[in-house]
Amino acid sequence: MNSAHEDSRVVTGDGPINRRTALQHDRLLRNEAPLPPDMAERLDRVQARSRLGAPLTDTLAQQFQAKHAPATPLQILAGVVTAAGVVVAMLGAIQSSRWPLVLGLATAALGAAGWWAARPRSNSAEEATGPAALFDSTALAAFDASLHAAAAELSEEAAAQVVRIKEAFQRLGPQRPAHDEHFTLEDRLFLRECLRRYLPDSLQAFLRVPAAQRKAQLHEGQPSAEQALLQQLRMLHEEVLQREKKIGRSAAEHVLRQQRFLESKKSR
C-alpha cells in the first residue's frame, strides 16, 4: 500500500491565487517577462478605482440626458429639410443661379421653423420655473476627486460604504425638491456640503495617516484611523438616507394636498 497518497482535503490548482496575480500568471504562461513594479502598482490602482464605479458627474449627466426626450420624428424630418435647403442654397450661390439660391434659403427657413415648432417644451419650462437641482458642478467635482484619490487606499468595507453613499446620491441627483416643512433649506445645504466637504474631508484626513498606522489605535481608548473612517462613512450614509426620506415625504404631501383639494370640491 502506498503511504504517500494525496490528502483529499487539500485543494490544488495551477491558476493564480487571486485577481491581483492573474495578469502576472498569464504573462508567465506565455513566457513573457513580469510587469515592472511601477506598472503593476498603477494597474492595481486602476483596478481599485473601478470598485467605486464611474464618476458621479458622468452618472448624473447620463441620467439627465435619459430624462430628456430624444428628438421627435418631426424634428428629424425638419432637420433633414433644413440641411437640404442649405445645400441647394450653396449650390445656387456657387453657380450664381438666383432661383436655386432663393429656393434653398426658403426651404432652410421652413425646415428651421418646423424644427422650432416641433421641439419639446415641457422640459424647458421645468428648467425655467422649477426648483433648482440639488447638486452643482463644484460639489460633484470635489466628490469625484476625493474618491479618485482615495480609491486605492480604502479597505473593502470602506469602499463598499462609499459605494452605498454614492448610490444614494445617484438616486437624489435627478430630484428637484422644493423647500417645505419636510425638506428644508438646511437639508439641501447638508447634501451639497456632504458632497463638497464632509465626505472629501473624511477621506483626506484618513489618507494623511501613514498606511502602516491606519489599523493601530490613534490614542488610548480611541478607534484606529480605519475604524474612525468607517464610523464617519456610516454616519454620513445615514444622514443622506434621512434627507432622501424627507424628499419622499415632501412629494407625498403634494399628493395628499391634491386629495384634500378634490374632496373639498365634492358636491354636498
Question: For 78-82, which contacts have Cβ atoms below 8 Å and span 24 or more sequence positions?
Answer: 78/111, 78/112, 78/114, 78/115, 78/118, 79/111, 79/115, 80/111, 81/107, 81/108, 81/110, 81/111, 81/114, 82/107, 82/108, 82/111, 82/112, 82/115
Residue 16's Cβ-side half-sphere holds a number of Cα atoms within 13 Å equal to: 12
Asked if 94 contacts 104 with a C-beta cutoff of 8 angstroms, the reply is no
What pLDDT does residue 21 have? 54
What pLDDT does residue 129 have? 38
Tens of pLDDT, residues 27-63: 555 555 555 555 544 555 555 556 788 888 887 777 6
What pLDDT does residue 48 have? 55
Query: Euclidean distance between the first and final Cα of the chain, in Å?
Result: 100
Cell of 140: 460633484
Residue 224's Cβ-side half-sphere holds a number of Cα atoms within 13 Å equal to: 9
Residue 1, pLDDT above cutoff 70: no
Cα separation of 100 and 87, whole Å? 10
Q: For the residues of 44-85, what is the DSSP string, one character each?
A: HHHHHHHTT-S-HHHHHHHHHHHHSPPPPHHHHHHHHHHHHH
Domain definitions of the chain by residue range: 73-119, 131-261
Between 143 and 50, name the one with better pLDDT. 143
Alpha helices in 51-177, H assignment, sequence order:
56-67, 73-94, 98-118, 122-129, 137-150, 156-172
Tens of pLDDT, residues 57-90: 887 777 665 555 556 677 677 778 788 878 877 8
Q: What is the greatest pairwise CA distance in the chain?
A: 106
Whole-model pTM? 0.58
What pLDDT does residue 165 have? 95
Q: Rounded to whole angstroms, what are the CA distances from 36 to 25, 27, 28, 40, 55?
A: 14, 12, 13, 6, 29
Question: If you count them, how many residues does the chain have?
Answer: 268
Cα separation of 32 and 11, whole Å? 27
Residue 16, pLDDT above cutoff 60: no
Tens of pLDDT, residues 89-129: 787 778 777 787 788 788 878 877 776 676 655 444 344 33
Q: What pairs with residue 224 in β-bridges?
A: 217
Tens of pLDDT, residues 205-259: 999 999 999 999 877 788 999 999 999 999 999 999 999 999 888 777 777 777 7
DSSP class of 197: I
Neighbours of 205 (CB within 10 A): 13
Tens of pLDDT, residues 206-216: 999 999 999 99
